[in-house]
Amino acid sequence: MSKIAMWLGGRAAGRWLPALALAAAAATSLALGQLVGHGLATSGEPTRATIGLTAAPTTTLAATSSPSPDASSTAAAAEVARAFLVAYASYRFDDSSDSLRRRLRAYDTDRFDTSLALGGDPGLPTRAAADRHEVATAAVQQVSATIQAPDGRLVVVALVSQNVRSDQGTRTSARYVELFLARTAGGWRVDEVAA
């Protein structure tokens, strides 16, 4: 199995589900806190402890939230994510050691590029993949979630399909992949791949 196949088979599918569940729980908690604060969820006055518990998350969320990107900005980020994933999940058995960095450079941040330079190319095919003459092509089937992280980066979850041809035939797989995009002077760029 190639490194890119292992990357696509990583834990990415399960990582965004807890984040969305946590966000839903926080929203429910805030809504309940607003009802309690207005005396609608209980009969009588809310207790001091309830007010303290509901006031803190509201203050914290206001302090860590940044303005949500508009629809056109979100669409632009999704397009960068699509192009990045196609470049990242596609490879040839004879790729050079810096071919992945060159393919991704138009879509990633300086920080991500530096991490690739320091840590090697995780997207390079393994020796076994090279022996089998593997050629992988990728496509993004859908972008299923786009939410803003507390640090201001945009989280994009996409379904990526990968078609691998080799001397042993053809195989196709599909996985969800989670990307964190940062806003740069050049627009949205991929800052992290969660695996």
Residues 6+ apart with CB under 8 A from 88: 4, 100, 103, 104, 123, 138, 193
- Distance between CA atoms of residues 89 and 162, nearest Å: 7
Here the CATH number for the domain that contains residue 187 is 3.10.450.230
**Domain presence at residue 39:** no
What number of other Cβ atoms are within 10 A of residue 25's Cβ? Answer: 10
Residues 6+ apart with CB under 8 A from 80: 107, 181, 187, 188, 189, 190
**Domain presence at residue 88:** yes
**Domain presence at residue 127:** yes
Q: What is the DSSP string of 62-131?
A: HHH--PPPPHHHHHHHHHHHHHHHHHHH-EETT--TTHHHHHHTTTB-HHHHHHHHHH--TTSPPHHHHH
**Domain presence at residue 7:** yes
**Domain presence at residue 46:** no
**Domain presence at residue 22:** no
Choice among 52-56, 102-106, 140-144, 185-189 with the minimum mean pLDDT: 52-56
First to last CA, the chain: 16
Tell me the per-residue pLDDT of 28-85, one tens digit each, with 9 for 90 and over: 333 333 333 333 333 333 332 222 222 333 222 233 344 567 888 899 999 999 999 9
**Domain presence at residue 112:** yes
Give 121's pLDDT tier (boundaries 50, 70, 90): low
**Domain presence at residue 179:** yes
Structural domain harbouring 138? 3-15+67-194
State pTM to two decimals. Answer: 0.65
4 in Cβ contact with 188 (< 8 Å)? no
Domain count within the chain: 1
Average pLDDT of every residue of the chain: 72
